A and B are shown apart, each in its own frame.
Chain A
Amino acid sequence: EVQLLESGGGLGQPGGSLRLSCVASGFTFRSFSMNWVRQAPGRGPEWVSTVDIRPDVTHYADSVKGRFTVSRDNSRSTVYLQMNSLRAEDTAVYYCATRMLSHFDYWGQGALVTVSS
């Protein structure tokens, strides 16, 4: 059974940093790209970032480019999202999701990030 478990959410200060982790199990982690999607309160989902099978191949939404960094550790079956220079508009539930088929097939339960002073 595919399982994704996010952690690291919480309260962050404007201009501050947080790091999210997503531990995966139930599939061959190193063989698939991993993704982060966020959903602000009362809004639809927004794709944030993707790390390909090759850890040096990454993609970002313009809204986070230069501030967020995605990475993966295949030995730990874990994907990370380092979030710097946090803004109020980064407040959201952050989901990690697999892409074993051509779409986002499995999702974690999410981690809430609140940016406020």
Chain B
Amino acid sequence: DIVMTQTPPSSPVTLGQPASISCRSSQSLVHSDGNTYLSWLHQRPGQPPRLLIYEISNRFSGVPDRFSGSGAGTDFTLTISRVEAEDVGVYYCMQVSHFPWTFGQGTKVDIK
């Protein structure tokens, strides 16, 4: 199984400042069709996860442009350009390139 490792486990951030989360996979996420199926999700307490970014860098419908994704192969990054109060919660990376599909362990973002 592909192991998804996120760093840091938690990230206290200042409102208006940038934040970034790293996700590393134990093997390449390049699918046989040439695409890389790496996504980022955000979960608030008591809520289901919500898709933010898919295929490394594509923002899902309605996601603010302060969220961006980058990376390739085995190393990926989610960046929030200016953190807002509503961005608190846990962020997960997820891969659907290879079965079984797997998630990172999560990065908790809260406000300093």
A-B pair number, CB within 8 angstroms:
54
Q: Is the CB of B103 within 8 A of A103?
A: no
Chain B nearest CB: distance from A94 CB in Å? 11
Which residues from A are CB-within-8-Å of B104?
44
Query: Chain A residues with Cβ under 8 A from B92's Cβ?
Result: 44-45
Interface residue count on the A side (C-beta < 8 Å):
20
CB–CB B51/A105 < 8 A: yes
Q: Chain B nearest CB: distance from A99 CB in Å? A: 8
Cβ of A47: which chain B residues have Cβ within 8 Å of it?
100-103
Asked whether A110 and B48 contact (CB < 8 A) given A61-B100, A102-B96, A103-B94, the answer is yes
26 A-B contacts (beta carbon < 8 Å):
A44-B103, A44-B106, A45-B94, A45-B103, A46-B103, A61-B100, A62-B100, A95-B48, A95-B49, A102-B35, A102-B37, A102-B96, A103-B51, A103-B55, A103-B94, A104-B51, A105-B51, A105-B54, A105-B60, A106-B51, A107-B48, A107-B49, A107-B50, A108-B48, A109-B48, A110-B48
- Contacts of A106 on B, CB cut-off 8 Å? 51
The answer to the question of A59 belonging to the interface, with a C-beta cut-off of 8 Å to chain B, is: yes
* CB closest residue in chain B, given A50: B101
List, in ascending order, chain B residues with CB within 8 A of A107's CB. Answer: 48-50
Candidate in A37, A44, A105, A107 with the most chain B CB atoms within 10 angstroms: A44
